[in-house]
Amino acid sequence: MTFDTLIRNGTVVTATDTYRADVGIRDGKIASVGSELPMEGARRVVDAANLMVMPGGIDVHTHLDMPFGGTTSADDFETGTRAAAWGGTTTLIDFAIQYHGQTLHHAFDTWMKKADGKATIDYAFHCIVTELDEERAKEMKQLAAEGVSSFKLFMAYPGVFMLDDATIFRAMSVAADVGAFICMHAENGGAIDVIVKRALAEGKRAPKYHALTRPTTAEGEATGRAIALAEMAGAPVYIVHLSCNEALGRVREARERGLPVYAETCPQYLFLSIENFDAPGFEGAKYVFTPPLREKWHQEKLWNALTRDDLQVVSTDHCPFCFKEQKELGKDDFTKIPNGGPGVENRMSLVYTGGVQTGRFSPNRFVQVVSTAPAKLFGLYPRKGTIAVGSDADIVLFDPEAEETISAKTHHMRVDYSMFEGIRVKGVARKVLSRGEVILERGNFLGKPGRGEFLKRRTHGSL
Ligand code: URP
Ligand code: ZN
Ligand code: ZN
């Protein structure tokens, strides 16, 4: 058997196993995994000595080229997917937004056009639902069949994205019928709105008030409500960007009762805290995203939950806005600061550093939370999310000993600051293959814009 590419001498790390093996690739797929695979005829031989051979990362929560807060997120599908690949991520799931008065298909078509000709890695979409009449409910079913098998609903941002409980319940009921997956932004938007208005009336306008007006109780309450609605509808639910212990408690309690409840957290909640708002002047705006940063003690609770499988996934919620000109829209009023932060490039290194290098969990658990669980939950497994014969050859050669300091000066995201500036990471993607093609090698990005393919996802699978 001959291979297009043969990866030799590496240590294969999947969500379940760690072993020395070669990986043979043909026609973009993994054709063989075994010891001493034949080199003869291989067009390319890649030496992976001292490297981990892992499935490419899957980031199920990004916002590329997204109009929001009076501006548009700074990375488009070219720059965002390229930055993702620099960090070892080979698949993204982004969000197509149904704005009021529009169909779900209009949202899908719009985001397909944004990605077309630009994406350098494979991508898929969730659809954000902001209105749900009978026709839109039918569209949920159609979209699920067309590969958009998950829908994000908001319990926050009144007047923009927020849905009432009845609409959420109806959407969940449709999802239950068609095997779709509901992703929930769980914060009590009504209560937060009142607190925000009070703060503004008291002249509190600095960035830190974004965090101080969005209490953990608002996230805990909404998480509990989302779970209750999903239980009544008989639907699985996935809580996005979970930031605090209160919300975690609701998820843990539901899972202990055997409910199909899942949740992700993001590196910002694992590494940053409300103390970041102590930064001078308007610098705190760099950390304005929702849910907001919490007190530091929540971090250890989240790490612990990742270890124990109370949390299943780490995504980024990558939604970059430049400090100059974009974040500055809210210079005099924190409610006008576009909500979101950059991170798609840093996820793998940060989670490896904080999770594996600290001894909190194994490299296998790392693979599970950054690749395998996302693939399984969002209908991409086993095409993506593992190293196995027949899977796409989306492979990261990960150097667990390499160290880097995160900085906006060296990152590849199209944004003028880093939320993680100065953090030292140990564990870096050295080489990245997407469907067998080497797209990142020795510090050179080789993937051409437009090579990324849209992935039609199956319906949600269990872990
Ligand atoms: O602040 C955030 N998270 N911006 C992106 C939109 C969202 O709610 O995920
Ligand atoms: Zn959200
Ligand atoms: Zn988001």
For position 313, which CATH number holds? Answer: 3.20.20.140
For residue 397, tell me if it sits in a domain: no
Ordered strands of the 261-265 beta sheet: 57-62, 89-97, 122-128, 150-154, 181-185, 237-239, 261-265, 313-314
Q: Give yes or no for a contact between 340 and 333, defined as CB atoms under 8 angstroms apart.
A: no
Q: Measured between alpha carbons, how far is 40 from 431 in angstroms, rounded to an integer?
A: 22
For residue 40, tell me if it sits in a domain: no
Angle at 354 between CA 90 and CA 210, to 5 degrees: 85
Query: Atom 2, ligand 1: which residue's CA is nearest?
Result: 340
User: What values do phi and psi take at 176, rounded to 5?
Assistant: -60, -40
Tell which residue, 309, 233, 244, has the closest CA to residue 272: 244
The model's pTM is 0.98
Of 163, 210, 241, the residue with max ligand 1 atoms within 8 A of its CB, to mutate for a pocket test, comes to 241
Range of the domain at 303: 56-377
| CA 185–ligand 1 middle distance (angstroms) | 8
Q: Give yes or no for a contact between 350 and 420, defined as CB atoms under 8 angstroms apart.
A: yes
Q: Measured between alpha carbons, how far is 124 from 176 in angstroms, rounded to an integer?
A: 21
Tell which residue, 420, 363, 377, 347, has the closest CA to residue 85: 347
Q: Measured between alpha carbons, how far is 73 from 64 in angstroms, rounded to an integer?
A: 6
Tokens representing 152 are: 């994000």
User: What values do phi and psi take at 89, rounded to 5?
Assistant: -95, 130
Query: Atom 5, ligand 1: which residue's CA is nearest?
Result: 340
| CA 112–ligand 2 middle distance (angstroms) | 21
| CA 289–ligand 3 middle distance (angstroms) | 9
| CA 365–ligand 2 middle distance (angstroms) | 25
For residue 140, tell me if it sits in a domain: yes
For residue 450, tell me if it sits in a domain: no
- Total domains, the chain: 1
Query: Atom 7, ligand 1: which residue's CA is nearest?
Result: 290
Of 60, 63, 128, 293, the residue with max ligand 1 atoms within 8 A of its CB, to mutate for a pocket test, comes to 63
Residue that is written with structure tokens 């009021």 in the block: 100
For residue 141, tell me if it sits in a domain: yes
For residue 24, tell me if it sits in a domain: no
For residue 60, tell me if it sits in a domain: yes
Q: Which atom of ligand 1 is nearest to the CA of 288?
A: 1
Per-residue pLDDT of the chain (463 residues; tens, 9 = 90+): 799 999 999 999 999 999 999 999 999 999 999 999 999 999 999 999 999 999 999 999 999 999 999 999 999 999 999 999 999 999 999 999 999 999 999 999 999 999 999 999 999 999 999 999 999 999 999 999 999 999 999 999 999 999 999 999 999 999 999 999 999 999 999 999 999 999 999 999 999 999 999 999 999 999 999 999 999 999 999 999 999 999 999 999 999 999 999 999 999 999 999 999 999 999 999 999 999 999 999 999 999 999 999 999 999 999 999 999 999 999 999 999 999 999 999 999 999 999 999 999 999 999 999 999 999 999 999 999 999 999 999 999 999 999 999 999 999 999 999 999 999 999 999 999 999 999 999 889 999 999 999 999 998 777 8
Pairs from 163-170 (Cβ < 8 Å, separation ≥ 24): 163/129, 163/130, 163/132, 165/225, 165/229, 167/131, 167/132, 168/226, 168/229, 169/229, 169/232, 169/233, 170/132, 170/137
| CA 62–ligand 3 middle distance (angstroms) | 6
Q: Which residues surround ligand 3, an ion (CB under 5 A)?
A: 317
Q: Which atom of ligand 1 is nearest to the CA of 61?
A: 9
Q: Which residues surround ligand 2, an ion (CB under 5 A)?
A: 185
| CA 70–ligand 1 middle distance (angstroms) | 14
User: What residues does ligand 1 touch, defined as CB less than 6 Å away?
Assistant: 63, 185, 241, 289-290, 317, 319, 339-340
Q: Which atom of ligand 1 is nearest to the CA of 240?
A: 9
| CA 185–ligand 2 middle distance (angstroms) | 5
For residue 242, tell me if it sits in a domain: yes
